[in-house]
Amino acid sequence: MMLPGKAGSSESQGPAGAMSSRERFLTALRRGQPDRVPLFEYHFAPPFIEAVLGQPISYYHNVDDEVAVARAVGLDMVWTAPLGFMGFANIQLHGERYQDEWGIWWGSSASAWPVSWPEGEVVTDRLSWRRLRFPDPDLPIRVEQPRRAVELAGGELAVVGGVRGPFSSVWMLAGLINIGMWIYDAPDLLDEMLREMAHWNAQVGLNMIRVGVDAIVIHDDWGMNQATFIKPADWRRFVFPHIAEQVEILANTGTPIILHSDGNLNAILDDIVQLKIAALNPLQRSAQMNLADIKATYGDRLCLIGNLSTTTTLAHGTPEDVERETLECLRDGAPGGGYIFAPDHSYHSGVPVPNIWRALETAKKYGTYPLDMEAIQARIAILQEKNNPTSTPSGHRGHQRP
C-alpha cells in the first residue's frame, strides 16, 4: 500500500500553485520544505470550539466538529481516533465514570474532555492477564470516525489516525507500579503484554490506513518532566523491541508514522531515531526538550512537531508571551523544512482563547517560506524588550542537553 501524495499521485492545490493543506502537511512530514509551516493539533477544548463555531459542541468528540474547526482556523490536518482508543470516550454515551471494553474503569470531567483517566488495574498478575478477553480490533464501528474524517477532509486536509502504543496500553491495563515490579519479578509477563498490545494496536492502525487516513500517530508516553518513567536501559530492553515492531508493521504500508510521547526523552533520542518513524511529537519544552538542539542533531532524520509550552506560556502567559514563544519555535525548528507547528501537548481548556488565536495567527504570519529570519528575530527582540525593558536582547543560545 502506498501513501497518497507520494510521487506519481495528484493532490488538490490552491490558486497559483499554492499547496493544499494536505500537501503542505505531508511535505513537512517527509522533512521537505512546504510553502508554509503547517499547523497541527489533536483536539481543541470546548471553549475554543464553541468560540469558533458559534454554537455549543456535541458532548462527544467527533470529527464533524473537528473538521469544521480545522477549516475555520487554518489547521492543515485533522486527528481522529478509532472506537476503542484507550482513555478516549469517543462516540459512545458515557457519564463521568465508565467502563470500557477492556474492563478498565475511567473517570472523566468537563475540564478533562475528551480524555479520561484510568481508575484501578484490570491486570494484576499472570492469571488476570490470561483471563483478559481482547476486544475485536476489526469491528467495523472502530473505523466509522476515521472514515468520516477522510470523507469530510475531501483530500484538502491531511487526516491523522491515532492508536495507542504498547507501553501506554500496558500501563492503562496494569498501572505503572506493576510494570516497575514486573521488570524484575516477571519480565516474561511484561514482554508478552507489550508484544500483544503492540500487535492489537497495529491491527487497528492498519484498518484506519485501509479507510484512507494519511498518517498514523502512535501515542505511547514514556517520560516525566525530568526523566523517563523507567530506566533507559529497561526501556531499551522491554519497550523498544515492541514499539519498533508496531511502527514497522504500519510503516511498511508506506504510511508516515508519527510518534507521540510527552516528557524528557533526551536519554533515549538516539534510540528513537532508529525507529521507522517520520516525526516526533510533542517535544515538551517544560521537560527539557530543546527544539534547537534536537533540530541540529536529528533534523536530518525526523520531522519535528510541537514545542510551544502548554504548561506555562499558553496557559499562564499573555498573548505577547505566546507570540514570542511561537516565533522561537519557528526560529529553532522551521529552517529548511521538516517542522510542523503545534503546542507541546494540546490547546486544552485551561488555555485562554486569545492565546490560541495569537499562536495560530503568528505561525501563519511568520511561517511562510522562505522564512524572513530577520523579521522573526526583530519581533522576538521587541517582545523581549516589552517583557523586560531593563534587559538587553541577546542572540539565541541553545541549551545544553542534560
**108 grid coordinates:** 472523566
User: Does a structural domain hold residue 328?
Assistant: yes
Return all residues near 120 (Cβ < 8 A) that are at least 6 apart: 104, 105
Q: What tens digit of pLDDT does each residue of 202-247 get? A: 999 999 999 999 999 999 999 999 999 999 999 999 999 999 999 9
pTM to 2 decimal places: 0.91
Quote the domain boundaries for residue 93: 20-387
pLDDT over 90 percentage in the chain:
78
Q: What tens digit of pLDDT does each residue of 29-70 get? A: 999 999 999 999 998 888 899 999 998 767 677 899 999 999
d(CA 305, CA 25): 11
User: Does a structural domain hold residue 7?
Assistant: no
- Which of 165-179, 251-265, 379-393 is predicted least confidently? 379-393
- Greater confidence (78 vs 17) lies with 78
d(CA 3, CA 213): 9
CATH of the domain at 47: 3.20.20.210
Read out DSSP for 55-100?
A: SPPPSS--HHHHHHHHHHHT-SEEEE--TT-TTB-TTS---SEEE-
User: Does a structural domain hold residue 4?
Assistant: no
User: Does a structural domain hold residue 305?
Assistant: yes
Structurally, the chain folds into a number of domains equal to 1
User: Does a structural domain hold residue 339?
Assistant: yes
User: Does a structural domain hold residue 249?
Assistant: yes
- Greater confidence (90 vs 170) lies with 170
Kindly give the pairing relationship between strand 97-99 and strand 215-219. Answer: unpaired
